[in-house]
Structure 1
Amino acid sequence: MDAIAAIHQQSIPAEKKLNMFERYLTVWVGLCMLAGIFLGKSAPNLIQALRGMEFGQNSHVNFPMALLIWLMITPMMMKVDFRAVAKVGQRPQGLLVTLFVNWVVKPFSMALLAWVFFRVIFSLWMTSGEADQYIAGTIILAAAPCTAMVFVWSYLTDGDPAYTLVQVSVNDLIMLILFAPIVGLLVSGASALTVPFTVLLYSVVGFIVVPLLLGVLIRHRLIARHGKKWFEETLLPRFAPITIAALLITLILIFAFQAENILGKPLHVLLIAIPILFQVYFNASLAYGLMKWLHVPHAVAAPGALIGASNFFELAVATAIALFGPESGAALATVVGVLVEVPVMLSVCHVCNRTRHWFPVSESRG
């Protein structure tokens, strides 16, 4: 009986001790939404001035947003160790499932769902132009796999941190190549909008390539000088307050820029959330089910399902603003993605933890 109890005890991970930001993430997002809307309504001149700070005339690439996103993403990219990609051959099934869901299923299923909901089911409540914008925004959202928050979701499900790092690293590399072509193809195919490929390319360079190169360069230089242990255990934790502050200020600006849309179209906010919810749960279920079918360890399966479900909303919002402007329906759709991201992903974490027994106990720890 003692042996059985010990095995059972091992199958139940210790309760995670989250910091205040992680524990109350949904609350912070809600407070940022309220603060942003209040700022947008009470200080329209300030918001207009911030909105007008662009890298070039009519470029739609907002300088304050870009600066905040660099502050937010670069420390995340510093965590990425691309040498770990070479080790994936030892257990390739989990990564292959993640890549299949993220790049073969997710953007295309989102395009289909968006077209069905916005063009057919919700056609009585929105114009054709609004439908095109919402389709574009949800496609941009789905074509950007999550990079940062996956580490939090993986932690909450007792995921294998090394394998999660591999999944994120490979997705980042693929995103450099596929994000722009997929967005351009699907937006043009599912809506009447034409995506300026040059602007899309600038978004990829500005919001993926630049922070990725900065992260890799800083990581390489500082590890060579101070060692990996100091880098990961001393330096990286110091960036956490900067990343959190940049994220919260970014959310406030996003909701301030969208204050009129959110207050003026509350029904549309609800309608946009519906296909996003469908695609999140569909992709999470598909990835998790395939992992179970392939007998992938739970410590790999759970983060894989979460990566397949969540989105790199910072990139999505920045790209939608760069392509269509901060007050566009596409930008609103990506902002709705921010609204639903946290509570939905917490629910997926809960399901993954409750279904740990689906996987062999001997493999559940990775």
Structure 2
Amino acid sequence: MATTVNPPVAKKRLSFFERYLSVWVGLCMAAGVVLGRSFPELTGRLRAMEFDHSQINIPIAVLIWLMIYPMMLKIDFSSILGVRRRPKGILITLFVNWVVKPFSMAFFAWLFFRHLLVPWIGPAQADQYIAGCIILAAAPCTAMVFVWSYLTDGDPAYTLVQVALNDLLMLILFAPIVRLLVAGASGLEVPFQVLLYSVIVFIVIPLALASLSRVVLIRWKGIVWFENYYLKAFHPVAIIALLTTLVFIFAFQADNILAKPLHIALIALPILLQVYFNASLAYGLMRLFKVPFSVAAPGALIGASNFFELAAATAITLYGPESGAALATVVGVLVEVPVMLSVVAFCNRTRHWFSSEVPQAAGS
């Protein structure tokens, strides 16, 4: 059967905030470093604010909730039931995210930090950077995937299903995968109780609150009010929370960043390799199994991007805000937007590789 060329689609653009996210990240990095170096006592107090015996930083936890809750509000878990009619795309996405991605990242991090880059970073920092990269890769992206899907004219309903299933699997797989791979590749101890606290605080609680809010508010006020007013009201809150989180993380990391600028570039190397490897694998499998472009492109982007907010919070909880592991997750934030935009551009240029399909509901 001949491949059908998709008709040209209107060029889509990011919002002002999303288009310049790398700029905002850079400004937050500068502001955080200035805060950390100019007000060390204030930064120390913020860093010391933790839930009792949990090692979870309270300011970071509150900000993460303010980011994750609006993301989770968008997810309609009932849509998962309809995916059985078009299972190939979701199966490939789940395979890349949970069977390939964490393990490939563990391998690349081990190769670079234990062997190729160890003369520049040293063995102690190597273990920390390996742990941070693994934590980053074990958390599939949620919110920004909707932006990347929009830019590739992806099927929004199917993208929603892919994100929803990844979120559900994170509840079960994130903690054991992180513990297994970090202990195996870096040799660092991963306190399972602390990791479990992270899953409960940063995934279970906001997911439960968002699911309950969605059901109750839609029944009370209707879907139109929920999407046009309630969801939109949280958009600026989530943006402010994201930027404030970055300021705090960079403030906690100020000494690390100023003392090791070369390390930031070196940490980016395995992260970039892993992103392009997993995006290519997912995209290639989608083409091999004749998945439509509207599903293939978002699937490749989900396979490449990370839930960096959760990763940073988990690394801080496990090893502290000034740790190398936390720094590695921060580097993931720095490379996320430009790298993902390059993947979006590649997908759009190769749209003709796939059959044409009008985006439809996931269950149709």
- 1:50 is the counterpart of 2:72: no
CA distance in 1, matches of 2:29, 2:342: 21
For residues 210 and 120 of structure 2, the distance between their equivalents in structure 1, rounded to whole angstroms, comes to 44
TM-score normalized by the length of structure 1: 0.95
Tell whether the 8 Å contact from 2:156 to 2:359 is kept in structure 1 after alignment.
Answer: no
Whole-Å separation in 1 of the counterparts to 2:139 and 2:13:
29
Q: Does 1:76 align with 2:77?
A: no
Query: Paired residue for 2:231, among 215, 233, 236?
Result: 236
Decide which of 2, 7, 16 is 1:11's aligned counterpart.
Answer: 7
What is the CA–CA distance in structure 2 between the aligned matches of 1:14 and 1:294, rounded to whole Å?
27
Q: Which moved more, 1:25-34 or 1:265-274?
A: 25-34
Classify the secondary structure of the residue corresponding to 1:56.
coil
Letter in 2 for 1:16: K
Query: What pairs with 1:26-41 in structure 2 (closer than 5 Å)?
Result: 26-41=22-37
Q: CA deviation at 1:17?
A: 4.1
Residue ranges of structure 1 left out of the alignment (5+ in a row): 1-6
CA contact (8 A) 1:356 1:364 kept: no
Question: Given that residues 297 and 364 in structure 1 are in contact (C-alpha distance below 8 angstroms), is that contact kept between their aligned partners in structure 2?
Answer: no
Alignment match, 1:128: 123
The Cα shift of 1:127 comes to 2.0
From 330, 344, 359, the counterpart of 1:349 = 344
| Deviation, structure 1 residue 287 | 0.2
For residue 239 of structure 1, give the secondary structure of its aligned residue in structure 2: helix
Partners of 2:143 and 2:173 in 1: CA distance: 19
Q: Sequence identity of aligned pairs in percent?
A: 69
CA distance in 1, matches of 2:290, 2:192: 41
What does the per-residue CA deviation read over 1:161-190, in whole Å, with 9 as the maximum and x for residues that have no partner? 100000000000000000000000001111
Give CA-to-partner distance per residue, 1:102-135, whole Å, 9 cap, x none. Answer: 0000000111111111001011112211111111
**TM-score, with structure 2 as normaliser:** 0.96
Among 20, 36, 50, the residue aligned to 1:24? 20
Pairing partner for 2:176 from 177, 181, 206: 181
1:55-91 alpha-carbon deviations (Å, 9 max, x no partner):
125x331100000000110011111110000010111
Equivalent-residue separation in structure 2 for 1:204 and 1:124 (angstroms): 35
Which runs of structure 1 show a deviation greater than 2 angstroms over 4 or more consecutive aligned residues? 362-366
1:114 corresponds to which of 84, 109, 117: 109
User: Would you say the 8 A contact 2:319–2:326 is kept in 1?
Assistant: yes
Q: What amino acid is the match of 1:18? A: L
RMSD: 1.3
CA distance in 1, matches of 2:208, 2:295: 27
Per-residue deviation, 1:233: 2.3
Report the secondary structure of 1:149's partner residue: helix
Q: Distance in 2 between matches of 1:196 and 1:238?
A: 38
User: Structure 1 residue 251: deviation in Å?
Assistant: 0.9
Q: Which runs of 5+ in 2 are unaligned?
A: none
Counterpart of 1:192 in 2: which secondary structure? coil
Distance 2:232 2:119 in 1: 50
In 2: Cα distance, 1:282 partner to 1:52 partner: 38
Q: Distance in 1 between matches of 2:331 and 2:52?
A: 27
Q: Is 1:273 the counterpart of 2:268 in the alignment? A: yes
* Equivalent residue, structure 2, for 1:259: 254
Give the Cα–Cα distance (whole angstroms) in 2 for the partners of residues 330 and 200 of structure 1.
14
Contact 1:60 1:326 in 2 (8 A): no
Counterparts of residues 96-107 of structure 1 (less than 5 Å): 96-107=91-102
CA distance in 2, matches of 1:152, 1:32: 21
